[in-house]
Structure 1
Amino acid sequence: EVSVIMTPSAQEIITPMAVRWASQGEVITDWDGDLSGLSGFDAVLVTPATRNIIASFVHGLMNGPLLMALSAARGRGCPIMMVPSMHNDLAHDPVTEDLVVQCVKSGVKVLWGAEEEGKRKTPNHEEIVARLGNLVNNNSTSVVITLGATRTAIDDIRYVQNTSSGYTGYMIASELYRHGMDITCVSGVTTIDKPSWLSLDIECPDPDDMLEELKALTKDNIDVWIHSAAVLDYVIPDPVEGKIASLQGDLDIQLKEGAKHITELRESCNGAVRIGFKLESGIKQKDLVHRAHAQIQSAGMTATIANRMEDYGKEGKPRGWLVDSHGAHFILETEQDMCNAIRSVIENNR
């Protein structure tokens, strides 16, 4: 539920009627007898936040319902996020910097956008919503999620790599971030842009390097581990230094079985929520569920997301199945169903 407070300046740019239609919520434009600005909001978001609004908030002025709502929110300890937007000259003014510091000291989250065309512009709506969600739902749950493809070197310029864009991992990470969790991504090779709000992303394209990074992270007492990366089952043990010359005829490349990350981490992640992924092809659903449950038992997982390669992305086919430690399984029709199921597993096992 959204209530919008529009300043007189905002009403000169867009009409309250248009905002009410878009938000499907109340639009407050002036003082009223109900003092709607004192309503018990879960959070107050000011975007764009002008220097005038920031200064008025810092100095306790109250010349409209927006500043009244901000003052009441500050008094209740309600989360406040401001998204300043102004020319660079104003943003770099020491007075502006001091005002922002005072906001931060009073508990306000200040989100600056990128510098473009001589201005600090408003970030895109997805970033604003993600960061506001993290602020409102903030909790102490720490999550490590692996994502993307991994590769093993043939020589210094060639490699063997499996297929994964990182889309699923980043989608899960973003969903959990919006619900207030502290996210660390350990990414292999990805082909999509990383969401800007996921600030801690450790790049480890090599599966052995990724495993060593995960082992190091176990020392931080992580609450939740999600293994969505496509980790190579087989690796090249002795890559050639330099470049193998062309026109040498056929090459015989030796592959050895690589380490299973979820198995290697079993003892050091004891007590944490652990969610794995299981991709198979050419098998029936009941066999897929059986193999996913076997993975849970062998690696000490909490749950596994199981899916079949031939179903992925096909209309009318489910995104996968959630399999728990008891062998129960639940169909996941969409990507969002998968994210919701993972969040439920975390919340029910914490």
Structure 2
Amino acid sequence: MPQIPNEHPTLWIKSGKSRSLQGKTIVLAVTGSIAAVRTVELAREFIRRGADVYVVMSEAAGWIINPMALHYATGNEVITSITGKVEHVEFFGNLGRADLLLVAPATANTIGKIAAGIDDTPVTTFATTAIGAGKPVMIVPAMHEDMYNHPAVMENIEKIKDWEISFVGPRLEEGIAKIAGNDEIVLEVERRIGSNTLHGKKVLITSGSTAESVDPIRIITNRASGKTGVELALEAYRRGADVTIVHRNKLGIYGINEMYAESAEQMTNTVLEELGKGCDVLVSAAAIGDYTLDSSQTKIKSGGELTLSLRPTNKLIKEARKTHPEIKIVGFKAETGIGQEELFKRALHTLESSELDMIVANDVSSGGMGTEENSVYIIHPGRKEHTNISGSKSMIASALMDEITRMFPEGEKH
């Protein structure tokens, strides 16, 4: 990005990854846990997504990490005491300019003080003010597991949750209630104070490749990695949707419901069952196998020629449209070695014959499958102009979710 005179050099990374937090102001409240060393990179991740970040620290946090490190990380002076500027009111009073108070890491001591309304550190003073003003607050605990399991600590956490304050983590490992990973924290912040354009919507996404069993050891599959599907799921979650992803990976994506399906039949049956529970959008991004076969119950002996009898699989999007005419369906069309005109012709045929609301088309002969970047065309019914999006798959996912959001009238978005 262009450099601005007198701008702190740290801010040269601003919006380098995305604009999901553009225009947002986050106050990162740091307490005296060893996990405070993680906050330099955490702050910079928010900046990379467009946010302005300010830090308030307790005295105990200063024993773990020097305020200068967080000044460097954010480009802003660190608040280590409340002064005549009444910083807590500046940021979180009724007219305060901050969008979120993120207490990370939060010790058992700080959680207890927040629950009791005690404000004897800059962090707890900020918390008392933000909660009293009804401003968004998120807490990310970090402490020894025995402390976390103390009945009073658990009671304090439940009490604070009743105030509609969200907690992220912790991860219980090695006898420690470890601070949640930065990716998880950032994702939850994006969901809490981001665009929220898909709040209340149920989004079902298929992703990656399917696999047809030849015998207990061998499978027939394809080269799809599932990266686009995962990025779509993350982007829908950021925007407030209730997200389910169906694939044959198991990623443990925080906040997203993952369902396992290996074969084309399993994926189709799983999707149709989920659609029956209620859904607003099906994004069929998986490269579902076009053919299946009868699997051998035992391993086929090696050596010699082998002939397999393949038969077509059912088309998921056709089945979904037939059984659920009311939902929005987005399809994908991948081709190889054809010109742009023929690509559009084939994509439009699928769009019309399957009665889709949108289709994403690309020629994968020069890349796309398994890569970090791609180039796709977004095609809508009745539109002569088709939108080309090129770049990282996360950027493409964001553009596709923009288009999906536009499918719903303003009044239906919340």
Task: Give TM-score scaled by structure 1 length.
Answer: 0.91
| Partner in structure 2 of residue 345 of structure 1 | 403
Deviation at 1:128, TM superposition (A): 0.6
* Deviation of 1:127 (Å): 0.9
Task: Give the structure 1 partner of residue 295 of structure 2.
Answer: 239
Letter in 2 for 1:180: G
> Which residue does 2:37 correspond to in 1?
none
Deviation per residue, 1:12-69 (Å, 9 max, x gap) = 2223232122123453221123323232322221110011111111111122332233
- Equivalent pairs counted in the alignment come to 344
Partner of 1:15: 66
The aligned counterpart of 1:331 is 388
> Larger deviation: 194-203 or 178-187?
194-203
Cα deviation for residue 268 of structure 1 reads 3.1
Aligned to 1:295: 350
Matches within 5 A, 1:109-258: 109-137=166-194, 139-188=199-248, 190=249, 194-236=251-293, 238-247=294-303, 249-258=304-313
Cα distance between partner residues in 2 of 1:126 and 1:10: 22
**C-alpha displacement of 1:327:** 4.2
Q: Which residue of 1 aligns with 2:16?
A: none
Counterpart of 1:83? 140
Distance 1:240 1:339, change over 3 A: same
The answer to whether the 8 A contact 1:279-1:309 is kept is yes
Q: Output the CA distance in 1 between the equivalents of 2:130 and 2:328.
A: 35
Cα distance in 2 between the residues matched to 1:291 and 1:68? 61
AA aligned to 2:167 is V
CA distance in 2, matches of 1:100, 1:199: 23
Aligned to 2:79: 28
Structure 2 SS opposite 1:28 = coil
Amino acid in the other structure paired with 2:284? H
Out of 141, 146, 151, the residue aligned to residue 94 of structure 1 is: 151
**1:158 maps to amino acid:** R
Report how far residue 2 of structure 1 moved: 1.9
Cα deviation digits, residues 274-316 of structure 1 (max 9, x gap) = 221111001112221222222211112222221111232599x
The 8 Å contact of residues 133 and 180 in structure 1, kept in 2 or not, is answered as: no
Tell me which amino acid in the other structure corresponds to 1:108.
Answer: I
Identical-residue share of aligned pairs (%): 29
Select between 6-15 and 254-263 the one with higher mean Cα deviation.
6-15
CA contact (8 A) 2:228 2:397 kept: no
In structure 1, what is the equivalent of residue 26 of structure 2? none
CA distance in 2, matches of 1:69, 1:179: 27
Verify the 8 A CA contact 1:152 1:206 in the aligned structure 2.
Answer: yes
SS in 1 for 2:387: strand
CA contact (8 A) 1:174 1:198 kept: no
Two-structure CA RMSD over aligned residues (Å): 2.1
Query: Which residue identity is paired with 1:4?
Result: V
Which region of structure 1 is more displaced relative to structure 2, 125-134 or 155-164?
A: 155-164
Letter in 1 for 2:376: G
- Of stretches 13-22 and 162-171 in structure 1, the one that deviates more from structure 2 is 13-22
Gaps of 5+ in 2: 1-51, 409-414
Pairing 1:319–2:398 present: no
Give, as a single letter, the amino acid of the residue that structure 1 aligns with 2:75: Q
CA distance in 2, matches of 1:110, 1:81: 6
> Structure 1 residues 286, 37: closer, same or farther in 2, change over 3 A?
farther
Question: Which amino acid is the alignment partner of residue 86 of structure 2?
Answer: L
CA deviations 1:147-179 (Å, max 9, x no partner) are 121111222332211122222211111122122
Q: Distance in 2 between matches of 1:318 and 1:245?
A: 40
- Closer/same/farther in 2, CA of residues 72 and 274 from structure 1, 3 Å limit: farther
Q: Is the 8 A contact 1:147 1:227 kept in 2?
A: yes
Q: Is the 8 A contact 2:228 2:394 kept in 1?
A: no
Question: CA contact under 8 A between 2:359 and 2:379: conserved in structure 1?
Answer: yes
CA contact (8 A) 1:136 1:180 kept: no
Cα distance, 1:145 vs structure 2:
0.5
User: Aligned partners of 2:330, 2:384: CA distance in 1, in Å?
Assistant: 14
Shift of 1:118: 2.3
User: Is contact 2:237–2:256 with CA below 8 Å preserved after alignment?
Assistant: no
Q: Which runs of 5+ in 1 are unaligned?
A: none
The answer to whether the aligner puts 1:56 opposite 2:113 as a matched pair is yes
Aligned residues of 1:87 and 1:120 also touching (Cα < 8 A)? yes
1: CA distance, partners of 2:264 / 2:374: 29
1:277 to 332, 337, 355: 332
Secondary structure, in 3 states, of the residue corresponding to 1:283? coil
* 1:264 is aligned to 2:319: yes
